[in-house]
Structure 1
Amino acid sequence: MPIMLSSTPSSANPTVSYQIKDKNSSGDAICAVCGDGHAKLHYGVLACYGCKGFFRRTLTGKYRYACRFGNNCVVDKFQRNSCRYCRFNRCIEVGMDPKAVRPDRDLTGKQKVPRIRKKPIDEELLSHVLRLHGDDWSRKLNNDTRILLLQLMNIEAKVVKGDMNMSNNMQPPRDPRNISLKEMFELKPSMDGRRTEMRYEPFRMARTEELSEIAHRRAIAAVDWVDSLTEIAEVAETEDKVALVKSCYSPLTIFNFSARTAQNTPNPDILCLCSHSYVPRRLPPEFNETNHLSNVLIDRTLNELVAPLRKLNLKEEEIVPLKAIIILNPTITVTTH
């Protein structure tokens, strides 16, 4: 059963503990509120249509509920209608976002502001929701924090996938070495085709001639991260975004290589890059002529970053917020207020 109940004989009121499962035996997604099947992503969590509608009606109708049984009622698919107070509290507890409810959606007839056609649910976002529902620690986060974490996870997924998430009917790409950072923010279509998918499995040793392409790919990733993150942080000026990229590019690149190396290999003597390749701790002589990497840099990265990160065994939900912290450097002066 998706919801487990337990009670203590000495207590007048039963103690209710919930154990959320992502899917039932038939493969349907499970509602985080009541445990019913056929759940979809509503207001930031997996929920059935019944709980989605209840949450919406409660907020748009401005109802005020009260519990007659000690605020500890069972909320499952059989008894979810027994106590509206406890059901609404359960909606908030699992992370439904009240700010996502739009009161105008129930209006009929011609509307002053046309409705925007609903986009299909992003599969990456759905996978993040499923993973978070399975983690006890994430349910202890407050609602805003859970939503922010999902946004950050979605940014990372889109940045890593690159052109797989972007339109194919754009103008042909220019050589990224001839494009300024300002143009990369303002002329995004011109960069399509340069956003290759980034993978960190160490299948082969990197070639010297591809190091510049790897550096440019990481620069594009930094631009995409900053562009997405500044929408959340309400940073609008291109100059501010450029300043953030210049500040974060090197530390973000080194941290990313380090974290992904710790995830993808136990080998203490290689550093994974973003092209199915790696570089060894002791570089061949020809690598020293590229000005991209050095033995000292790789040695320190492996010893001071990769080794500790490997011991920490961080989850993706812990790695991604660290990237956001690196990017939003508080010492950078921005003009947006």
Structure 2
Amino acid sequence: MEPDCAPGTAAIFLFSSRPCVVCGKEAYHNNFGALTCDACKMFFRRAILLGKEYSCNPADGFLKSTGMHVKCCSCRLKKCLEVGMNPQRLAKLKVEIDAKTRKLGTTMKELLWRDKKRQGNLMNFYSTDNLNLETIVWNPNLVRKMRRDPNYLVTPDEWAYLALYSHTVYFLQFDFVKQLLFEDKIKVFKFNMLPLAYFAGLMRTKNEKGDYMYSPGGQSIYPIALQNEYKDNHLPLTTLCSEPVSRLLELDVTDEEYCLMNIIFFCNPGLQGLSEAGSEILHTEHRKYFAFLLEHCKQKHPKSFIQRITDLMSFHSKIINNASAMEGLFSLFLANKPNYKFYMLIEDSFHL
């Protein structure tokens, strides 16, 4: 607060209002050098920090009491400056915001590049190696990759394996993941790989303007034998592939938001059984990337960023619950078909 009254009367003005010198509404303290209401304070802050340029609109009508046109941003900003609101008081804050913006931009470029590489590996390479999750986390290079023949028809089982593998490799390349103990890595990857590979498939479908998730090759994501098992009741299978896509389309989640959500969801410090050091590493990274997502939402949705980030973060419970439902479907299938063999990476990720 910036009081401009004598010490003896300061307490009175703390609890009494005076007219805002910009718009005439109730004001309780000085902001940036003038007595203003909170609305005019935030208007001035946004206008200066975002470098807004306004043009006067006489059609808004002139309000004699304030000396400006009603709802005219140009008149309002001019009045703010005339009554003594000082842009220099925002200079330090502007420097800090510019630094945040640059850091966010650099981070987004890196995450988008990493995810594009992940998608390229999924679509262009192939492997017949059948290694379990622990082996791949220990050394992903043990999986021998070959360029996929475009004419080769990849089965749903193989797409699932390749999706899980490409996502595992994606996260293993982050420096903070390399710092985790091997035991912590296994816990984190076992918990996350199915829901996050599922999330990636949903986002791919959204970007393709589809309303139902298929494999990258255009087939059902479910093995034919599993489809046959549920042929009399397809609803559980179809719901998992359609309902979340509708929500992504409704929210119009961007690639930038997806990349940040993906890593925020991965960095779950509350997983049971993690070492203290592992939990602290994930907690630090979770806060860092959440701050990036919050800043991104503030920039893209300045008037509704709180609702935006709430909607985005609520999607985590959706993919966790749906991944758990998918595990249940696969477990029930194996109970009826115990001789059916999945890739070991699928078994580990689905907890089969």
Shorter chain as normaliser: what TM range? 0.3 to 0.5
Higher RCO (C-alpha 8 Å, min separation 6): 2
TM-score, structure 1 normalization: 0.45
**If the length of structure 2 is used for normalisation, what is the TM-score?**
0.44
Relative to total residues, which structure has the larger helix share, 1 or 2? Answer: 2
* Bigger-Rg structure (1/2): 2
